[in-house]
Chains A and B, each alone.
Chain A
């Protein structure tokens, strides 16, 4: 206790000494006044600050204020969000009245750029901004979806899974094996995504696109940076927000598959036309009794699912303390039966300022529940045969199962068995936030120390009871109980100085600091084989326990210098130096990431002043180097690890053997992206039109690839196919692009509207990759390739030319091919169909993407429309391709009914039944054009405040209805061509609608927003 008292005394002493600064006596004067808006009405909550000090006040409900300033020649800075700030000289007056004008120019908008912020007019890098209000229009738990179509150069894929986040790439894909996701920075916390963050809590999102803007994040910024700022309290009046929303998600654009009768006809056709040699078909019994069952599996497994969202928050404060508390609840059932996501967020932000010292925090704690489909995906549902009954009381679990009689060898699963009986779920707890202290040391100089944290712990359980799956080949389901825990912690300690000062026409900004980041994860799981269905690890036999901890640290020095002269000439220089534990035993533990950019605001030049229709014109350009981070999971990539796998027996004892599977390259370093950016910001017609356009060249070199050693090096593990390899830096990828965005805003009395569009053109080229003996070698994943000179992961396969119509057309060297099979082009005319006949079938990365919005309000009505689209890419739809593959006996899409080749139907689209499997080798027939335009959201609102609650304290009472994904315009057959990144090569961003893709969701919502 004594020690504590002494400690407190010391603290108080320090605080007193520091606070004494604020007591310096000067010639004080009290000023009163009123601040009004453009209509002359008092502005409550406007800030009045004595320039060059932290002395300030806030207007009351009527816009009135009073402030004691230090001298009679003080300057007051009057500001209010959304209005143009004004500086007023007191000149000995005791009353200062001022009217503020609304800021439609957005030039004075403050842009968060990482470790600071700048006025938009001073920005020299390429930064996209998304306002928090547009995020709330999307019925998703994860805000990444809402970035889709909003910012030029940012490509976002959709995701229909409950609670799922979307895959975001900024300015193309520039890595073969690394992660393409940008760095997310939420209130200073470095993250890999926006999981656990409620979109309702987000104030704004800044997307740092070019190297100059992102360079302050150094080795972690090669994919760009998404900075998320959460809502905080503002000094002024207290605000209470309540939002309630509910809706229903409907699975849309479903596939039409055959019914029992049609499938029976197909099966008979398939069987009868099979040549005896290839008959391996145990035909199901196509009789009236079996055909009388006609299960609609899509209807059984997919259904409209509810969606709820509720949030409440209160915020407020004065010039010394601000706070905000809020709670959000989000609940989304999946359209696939028994899948689910819900999340409860509680947030608390506060800051306290006294004298030159400020302390504050941001805290977001959340709990989320997931329930997943276990071993059932969309494809399993679509392929389930309709003649199998959904329920059958005679089986173990009461579900219909495939039997030899009703399915032959069409041994599909009954997907409902696992959807209903297997319980695969997880419960997660997380906390994201920071606590900081900030000292205002000298005029313009601040020091901030902050501790950021991101903690997540998840317990996942799977209970898989004994089931009867009939003859299903998917019968290798272990009766088991699995439980696992995954813990991850990320702790970041940052300290930095900021110095911002105006010396006449010279405006100087300096940032210098350090950052230390420590990430760990520690997972374990236990799998117990138990058939009794108990969720219990006790006394279970045959348990397998797995798990181990991993850790990564990054230490960084940050520095940035910004300078502008007369608001005309702008310059930014950034240098970040990073050290990574991942490269600890290489020669490249530390690396430096420099960048610079320059800007010139031509409209500040006298020769431009006469051109009045140009309100603002800035040209800017920059160059910089960034690094691609090593994910936590790959953190030991430079350290070969000992594995105890090569057992040997000597005598009657088994000895574990120690081997290593990789060899380190002491010169390995991170992938480096250099980027050059040239841009123009233009405002026309009194700022009613704003245009931003950028051209960039991004080159990502030193790709980290696994290189196989010669076999005689001797690395490897017996029987595993592992021949020994090591990571090496090889090759480079270029992305070159053009971005354009335009907005137009108009106010006319009661009618305001704003509309805008953005467009991106992107070319992706692999410059260099593996070479052997001067020859370029491809990397293959599925049907996609990476090779020098082509777009990354382009589709590679056969070209085709319709169907063979007569035997005469078919080269004699092609055995097994008959009329009605696909005519595959033998490009080298060698009479055989081999890989040598493959060719480029199109790129998987969209060349064009675009977005648009329209919003308007008239009196109490408001309307908004959001849309986006992509073009210039191909999509491989695994589901549709299987449902139209007439070389197998599985169920088909109704598209082939009456539309497959027979001698009497030679104009058919699809090959004969059964076709040669050669017909379905990967070819251009299995690719579809991905171009689409999606109306993302239409929302109509009406503010009932004036109608119902006029004169009350209520600020807004808005009701609205909203439709998400009302219309998808595309020729694509499938759920949606916007599956980029959703395929099996998700990390590589492949355009494959794979077998677990979920239906396109159309969501209808309605809600109420109250603001007090």
Chain B
């Protein structure tokens, strides 16, 4: 029976070898990309994550098109062009929680916040460059505050997504004061950390449009201004306005009509940046990207006949009247009988579909006269800082003389060489200072997605009228409603704005 023993041993050995399962067998690595679990480990991963956080600004639903259009629609600077679903309802302030356009803006902003939180929640274990990681995190803090600023100026109360609750699918909303505190805390942290330069040096061509200290301070100044913390706003804006790194461009037209080519635009503190490789519709075969003009061009093109666009109001046109030397009119609005300096007379694509059209943000270079012109969209620029500073000074300390100097700097650039006569100076107009600040902001910043915020905080929403001069604003509709899908997908945990 020796054989039985041999066979028994044989089977025991087989049993031991083969039945010892190892979990390693089930740990199958993903070979073609990183998993979320093993990402965010080193400097390169963190830069990729930060890049995604910047990327949302160029989303088709933000500065590539929709944010510009929807914010422009809610002003007395624009009428609705062609109507699209949701477009006409928003134009009538007939806000509705199921309108897709506003949902998309909401989603894109939270998408940016999620990406910022990803940068902030992860601490790479394999970094050798603590200074770089510190800077990356402060850039993400700035961006997170910037996305929240957009939400905060569009909706009343909203969910506050932080690194702590970023992976919880359904959360309730936070009052707008909490959002305010959160933005302020983020920006104050950035300012205190002092990791961001006022201007990027070194490999300047590659880094120049990252978030700067100036952008952080200006954004915080803007938030303080919006909440009528006049002195806090004036302090920060004054710091930025006096920095030597920033100066107004000589030519007003050049503020918008720029494409970054190695030189930072000295006036733009922060912009949504577009290139042939970013933005909506990028694919490996046919590279393109919508520039800032994707929205504005619609009012010019003949072949886009039934799609959203904005048409300038006579009211805005008239606001430039009486000051023929102000270059901002021609750089903002074009009339059908105006000379189109950049057009080719026989190019059928260049056609003014309406009597007057928006021209701001359209390249002077006819080869770039396309909806893929890749021009950047300034979000914070120095002229805005000057005007906000003037307003903060006037409303706060009452330093009207100083405020007038800042306004005149903006007007001087707009009037160019003709700004010689003291009659052009603001002080000579004899108008009430606040009226002038309102007029200058309108003329300087038309179609830069800031106007509705200004009208709302000034209590001027009743000035928004339709073609027949009837007010469009609906009481209680200062803010957009929370998208219905989010209320449904949180099972009602997220509650609607009580005005809807």
Contact = CB atoms under 8 A, between A and B. Distances in A.
B107 to A, nearest CB: 4
Nearest to A552: B28
Contacts of A17: 3, 6
Nearest to A18: B6
Contacts of B208: 650-651
B59 interface: yes
B398 interface: no
B7 interface: yes
A954 interface: no
Nearest to A719: B280
Contacts of A552: 28
B131 interface: no
Given A651-B260, A719-B59, A773-B488, A658 B280 contact: no
Given A447-B14, A642-B36, A718-B280, A710 B275 contact: no
A716 B57 CA distance: 14
A639 B204 contact: no
A102 interface: no
A663 B52 contact: no
B27 A581 contact: yes
A449 B14 contact: yes
A439 interface: yes
B258 to A, nearest CB: 12
B488 A584 contact: no
Interface in B7-32: 7-8, 10-11, 14, 18-19, 21, 23, 25-28, 30-32
A837 interface: no
B55 interface: yes
Nearest to A23: B3
A503 interface: no
Interface string B211-238: 0000000000000000000000000000
A652 interface: yes
B489 A772 contact: yes
A447 B11 contact: yes
A656 B51 contact: yes
Interface residues of B, number: 89
A447 B11 CA distance: 8
A210 B273 CA distance: 61
A589 B10 CA distance: 32
A442 B214 CA distance: 85
A718 B260 contact: no
B480 interface: no
A475 interface: no
Contacts of B3: 17-18, 20-21
B277 A649 contact: yes
Interface stretch (B87-95, B177-185, B411-419, B490-498): B490-498
Given A442-B7, A714-B114, A657 B54 contact: yes
A657 B207 contact: no
A651 B111 contact: no
B268 interface: no
B58 interface: yes
A655 B260 contact: no
A534 B26 CA distance: 45
Contact of A514 (B21, B114, B483): B21
Contacts of B4: 442
Interface in B146-202: 158-159, 161, 166-167, 169-171, 200
B249 interface: no
A723 interface: yes
B110 interface: yes
A654 interface: yes
B205 interface: yes
A821 B332 CA distance: 52
Contact of B25 (A555, A585, A642, A647): A555
A658 B169 contact: no
Contact of B494 (A442, A642, A643, A710): A710
A495 interface: yes
Contacts of B490: 710
A713 B115 CA distance: 10
B344 interface: no
B108 A718 contact: yes
A640 B494 contact: no
Interface stretch (A135-143, A369-377, A541-549): A541-549
Contacts of B492: 773
A579 B30 CA distance: 17
Contacts of A718: 55-56, 58-61, 108, 111, 280
Interface residues on A, range: 35 or more
B209 A650 contact: yes
Contacts of A514: 18-19, 21
Interface in A643-667: 643-644, 646-660, 663-664
A805 B36 CA distance: 63
A423 B11 CA distance: 57
Which of A646, A654, A723 counts the most chain B CB atoms within 10 A?
A: A646
B48 interface: yes
A655 B161 contact: no
Given A441-B7, A641-B36, A712-B110, A654 B275 contact: yes
A942 interface: no
A709 interface: yes
B56 A646 contact: yes
Contacts of A544: 284-285
Contacts of B489: 708-711, 772
Contacts of B206: 650-653
Contact of A710 (B32, B48, B486): B486
Interface string A1-42: 000000000000000011011000000000000000000000
A490 B51 CA distance: 39
Interface string A385-399: 000000000000000
A902 interface: no
Interface string B28-72: 101111111101000001011101111111111100000000000
Given A639-B35, A641-B34, A655 B48 contact: yes
B26 A579 contact: yes
A655 B51 contact: yes
A650 B207 contact: yes
Given A18-B6, A589-B26, A658-B52, A710 B169 contact: yes
Interface string B264-285: 0000000001110110111011
B447 interface: no
Which of B23, B112, B114, B488 counts the most chain A CB atoms within 10 A?
A: B114
Nearest to A654: B277
B298 interface: no
A639 B32 CA distance: 13
Contacts of A715: 111, 114
A356 interface: yes
B111 A716 contact: yes
Contacts of B6: 17-18
A642 B30 CA distance: 11
Contacts of A772: 488-489, 491
B10 A663 contact: no
Interface string A615-654: 0000000000000000000011001111110111111111
Shortest beta-carbon contacts, A-B, top 4: A714-B114, A657-B52, A548-B32, A21-B3
20 contacts: A18-B7, A553-B25, A555-B26, A557-B19, A581-B27, A584-B28, A589-B26, A642-B34, A642-B48, A648-B52, A654-B278, A658-B34, A658-B52, A659-B52, A711-B106, A712-B486, A714-B114, A715-B111, A715-B114, A724-B111
Given A21-B7, A557-B21, 17 more contacts: A18-B6, A18-B7, A439-B7, A441-B8, A449-B18, A514-B19, A544-B284, A584-B27, A642-B33, A646-B56, A648-B51, A649-B58, A651-B262, A654-B275, A663-B167, A709-B489, A713-B161
Interface of B: 3-4, 6-8, 10-11, 14, 18-19, 21, 23, 25-28, 30-37, 39, 45, 47-49, 51-61, 103, 106-108, 110-115, 117, 158-159, 161, 166-167, 169-171, 200, 204-210, 260-262, 273-275, 277-278, 280-282, 284-285, 483, 485-486, 488-492, 494
